[in-house]
Amino acid sequence: MNMITLPRLRCPNCGKNMGPVKAPEIPPANKFEDCLRKCSRCLIGATNAKNPAKVKYIYGDQPPQDPPPPAPSQP
C-alpha cells in the first residue's frame, strides 16, 4: 500500500513543527479532530491538504481559516 505524505508545517501561533505525516489515505478535515497535523500546545490543526498553499488552519472548534500574514522582518 502506498503511503501519502503531508509535508511539515509550522504552527502559525508558536512556530512548532506539525508533521510531516504519512498515512495510507488522507481524509478531509473540517474540524480540529480530523486534522492529521496538530499543535497540541496551541490547539491548532492544519487541514489535510497536500499543497501547503491550500492549507487552512482550524482553531479549536472554529471553522477553517487562512493562515495569518507573515510578520514583517526586523532590520
Q: Detail the DSSP E strand segments found in the chain.
A: 4-6, 9-10, 17-18, 21-23, 37-39, 44-46, 57-59
Sorted by where each begins, the domain ranges of the chain are 4-59
- The reported pLDDT for the residue numbered 13 is 93
Binned average pLDDT, 10 residues per bin, the chain of 75 residues: 90 94 93 93 93 90 59 63
- pTM to 2 decimal places: 0.75
